[in-house]
Amino acid sequence: MHRIPIGVLGASGYAGRELCALIQRHPQLSLAFATANEQRGKTAELPGGGRVTFVATDDAPLESAKLVFSAMPHGASKIWVERARAAGAKVVDLSADLRIGNDGSTVPYGLTEARRETIRGADLVANPGCYPTAILMGLLPLLEQGLIAKGATISVSAASGVTGAGFSARTDLLFGEITENFRAYGVGNTHRHVAEMRAMVSELGADADLLFTPHLLPTARGILATMTVPLTRELPNALAPWITRYAHEPFVELVEQPPETRHVAHRNVVRIAVSSVAHVRTPTLLVFSAIDNLMKGAAGQAVQNANLMLGLEETMGLPA
C-alpha cells in the first residue's frame, strides 16, 4: 500500500509523541520524520507500544512530507509552519501562534465539528487548544442557536491532567508536587486559551462573557469543563440543542450522567452532558464536557483535521 508521508516537528513532547503513535497506526499515513532538537538521535517509546527516533529540527526533510504537524512550542512554531509551507507541505499547527484571536490571523481554526468544510479545503490549519476544544464543543449548540443570555457571564471551571502542561523539566510538575494536590492556575481570565475562546464566542454571534478558571489535576490525562451558562429562557428539553447539532458527529458522545475523564482517555471523542438546576432563579444550564487533552484536545483532532485536508475519511486511524 502506498502511504502518505507525514512529518512531525517538535515530536518529543506529549502531543508530539501522541501524533507519532497515531501516524504509525494510521492505515494511510506513514511517519516521514519526527524532530526534537534536544533528543536528536534518541529513541523514545510511544503510547501504545511503538518507538520513534528523533532527528534535529534543522535536519527535517520538510519537502519529503505531504503534510507536517507542528507541535513546536508557542512562539517557536510560526517560523516552522512557514518553512513547511514553503517546502510544499500542508500544515496542521498545534501551537497557539496562528489561532483565531491572534492579531490578524486568518488561518482556519481547526475545531473540526465547527469548521469542517473550511478545513477540508485548507492547506494550513491552526489546531485549537485543549481547553477551548472541550469548552467550545460543549457550548457550540447554545452559541449557534442563540440560547445564551445577552450580556451574561458563562462561568467555566475546568481541570486538566498534567500532560497538558507539556513534557517540561519543571519542579512544579514533579510527581511529589502533584500527587494528593489540586489547585487553580492562570486565574482571572489570564490563561493563554482565553483569546481563542472569546474570539470564537464572538464569531458565533453570542454577546456573552466567558470566565475561564483552569485547575491542575493529579492525573496524567483528561480535561473536564464544568460550565454554568445563563440562558435566554428555560429549555423544555435541556439536551435537545446538542442532540440536534451533533446528530451525525462520529466523535461526540451525549450522555445522561456527568462525564468522567477516564471514559474518554486515549479516545478522540468529546463526551457531553447537561443538567438543569434547582433553587436558582435565573434560567441556567450546567454543561459538562470531557476530552482527552492529548487526543481530541491535541493530536487526535490534529489527525482528524489532517484526514480532511488530505481527502481521507475523517475518522480514519482515530480511536472513537
Q: Which of residues 19-58 bind a second copy (CB under 8 A)?
A: 45, 48-49
The three grid cell numbers given for residue 108, joined into one nine-digit string: 482556519
Shortest separation between residue 94's beta carbon and a second copy, angstroms? 17
**Does residue 162 touch a second copy according to CB under 8 A?**
yes
Which of residues 160 and 307 has its CB atom nearest to a second copy in the complex? 160
Distance CA 92, CA 126 (A): 6
Q: How far is the CB of 221 from a second copy (least distance, A)?
A: 7
User: Which region, judged by CB under 8 A, interacts with a second copy, from 75-83, 101-109, 282-290, 304-312?
Assistant: 282-290
Minimum CB–partner distance for residue 194 and a second copy (Å): 7
Residue 306 carries which side chain, given as an amino acid letter? A
Candidates 79-87, 92-100, 129-137, 184-192 — which segment interacts with a second copy by CB under 8 A?
Answer: 184-192
169 binds a second copy (CB under 8 A): yes
CA distance 303 to 76: 21
| Interaction residues for a second copy, span 200-219 (CB under 8 A) | 209-211, 213, 215, 217-219
Q: Please state the closest distance from residue 24 (CB atom) to a second copy, in A.
A: 12
Number of residues lying near a second copy (CB under 8 A): 74
State whether residue 10 is helix, strand or coil: coil
At position 249, the amino acid (one-letter code) is: E
Asked if 224 interacts with a second copy (CB under 8 A), we say yes
Q: Residue 132: enclosing H or E segment and its boundaries?
A: helix 130-144
Q: Phi, psi at residue 306, to the nearest 5°?
A: -60, -40
Place of cell 476530552: 291
Site for a second copy in 100-119 (CB under 8 A): none
Nearer to a second copy, 87 or 283 (CB): 283
What is the Cα gyration radius of the chain?
19
> What's the closest the beta carbon of residue 86 comes to a second copy, in angstroms?
32
Return the sign of the alpha-carbon dihedral for residues 76, 81, 82, 88.
positive
Given the residues 8, 62, 91, 130, the one annotated as active site = 130
Distance CA 111, CA 143 (A): 14
Contact criterion met (CB below 8 Å) for 17 and 302:
no
Indicate which single residue of 175, 237, 248, 311 sits in contact with a second copy (rule: CB under 8 A).
175
CA-closest candidate to residue 122, choices 95, 89, 79: 89
| Residue of 185, 205, 240, 244 that binds a second copy (CB under 8 A) | 185
Does the annotation count 20 as an active-site position?
A: no
Can residue 308 be called a binding residue for a second copy (CB under 8 A)? no
Cβ-proximal residues to 279 (8 Å cutoff; 6+ apart), any chain: none
Indicate whether 262 belongs to the interface with a second copy (CB under 8 A): yes
Closest CB to a second copy among residues 105, 155: 155
Strands (E), 55-152: 67-70, 90-93, 124-126
Q: Any idea which residues carry the catalytic annotation?
A: 130
